[in-house]
Structure 1
Amino acid sequence: MTDSLTNARAGDDRPLQDPARGHSSATLSEASGLAVALCPEIRSLWAGARLCGPAFTVQGAGGDNLALHHAVLQAPPGSVLVADLGGARFGHWGEILTVAAQHRGIAGLLIDGGVRDTSETEALGFPVFSRNNSILGTRKHFRGVFGRPVQVGGITVRPGDLVVGDVDGVVALPQADAERILDRADTRVAQENELMKQLREGHSTLDLYDFEAAGR
């Protein structure tokens, strides 16, 4: 999976998620021109968490976390577990699975469902983005389905899509468009840096964006 996300721009084999770490979720969303932003109810479990990596998709069942146990064993190192649990308010993930995932080299978890053990997960430094927190326990019956498109936060996420999450939210960039989006994000950041330079020199946002000429 990771091999398919290579940085052809640089003429080397660096994964695309490396340059993605330099951009915010907001910048990537705006640069994409696509519906890539997950709903704002999907938030980081702890302040300062940063999620970045190719998606390993998991279709689970609400109130059952057996699929996540299997996913930890199947997902390649560096991948982000992207799990559809239907938004269910159960503690599908906690400290035990976090330790197991870190040992396997998994980069983080994006889950449309509930999690628990917030302080323990923060202490371990493992990025988790979820719909809710819950201490309700789970069953262990459904083994899950892996490697298929899933619905998370109102967005379809496919295996290998580039997932980036930060304090502002989460985006899932289609694998086929990731390089183009990153190029556009680079350009956007350069333009914004120039705008901020001019603002510090005394220009106004109305002038720089030419709002008055447009009658706004």
Structure 2
Amino acid sequence: MSTHDLARGHSSATLSEASGLPVALCPRIRSLWAGARLCGPAFTVQGAGGDNFALHHAVLKAPPGSVLVADLGGARHGHWGEILTVAAQQRGITGLLIDGGVRDAAETQALGFPVFSRNNSILGTRKDFPGVFACPVKVGGVTVHTGDLVVGDVDGAVALPAPDTEVILDRADARVAHERDLMKLLREGRSTLELYDNFETLGR
């Protein structure tokens, strides 16, 4: 299984709360298709908006098992589609997180390849800038480094700093166990106000 046992099954929301860090990406970055789940170590790509040449190079450079994390400046172009998806799957890449646009949503869903993007667009791209790789990139307002753990689901996406990942996962385990106890008490008739000191700690 690995990849921290697929982030131990935790949701993006749980990991964000457990981290205590600004790891949650901008809510505008969403899954391209319903039910997509992203989980894996980042391989970072600095591209140029409206140009997808860097993504073609990244597919060849990224190690198997990695998630491509690409900064395309939020550009509203279809930087990624069915052809790149098939190429990425053949290389063992497990997903894409991109601050920019993509296309071919139905085809990507049929292939089962998780993509999280800022928008869905059919605007064409050029192929001029070969890209910069394994450098820090800013995606959805969060700086991501190669090796950081990326998790995305229906609620959003997070990027957990590699040095802190195990601690965050342990905190998430504890948080889920605590919430399980709270749910049991709520089903027994207790109120949320009884179970939390104040509204600030309620959090939901």
SS in 2 for 1:76: coil
**Cα deviation code 1:135-179 (max 9, x no counterpart):** 011101110000100010000000100000000000000000000
For residues 26 and 125 of structure 2, the distance between their equivalents in structure 1, rounded to whole angstroms, comes to 25
Contact 1:16 1:179 in 2 (8 A): no
- Corresponding residue for 2:63? 76
Residue pairs, 1:19-168, within 5 angstroms: 19-168=6-155
185 and 129 in structure 1: CA distance in 2 versus 1, 3 angstrom threshold: same
Aligned-pair distance for 1:202?
1.0
Question: Which amino acid letter does the alignment assign opposite residue 97 of structure 1?
Answer: L
Q: Distance in 1 between matches of 2:72 and 2:198?
A: 45
Partners of 2:153 and 2:18 lie apart in 1 by 16
Q: Shift of residue 36 of structure 1? A: 0.3
State the one-letter code of the partner of 1:76: P
TM-score (norm 2): 0.95
Tell me how large the CA RMSD over aligned residues is. 1.4
Which 5+ residue runs of structure 1 have no aligned equivalent?
1-13
TM-score, with length taken from structure 1: 0.90
Match of 2:193 among 175, 184, 206: 206
SS in 1 for 2:39: strand
Q: How many aligned positions are there?
A: 200
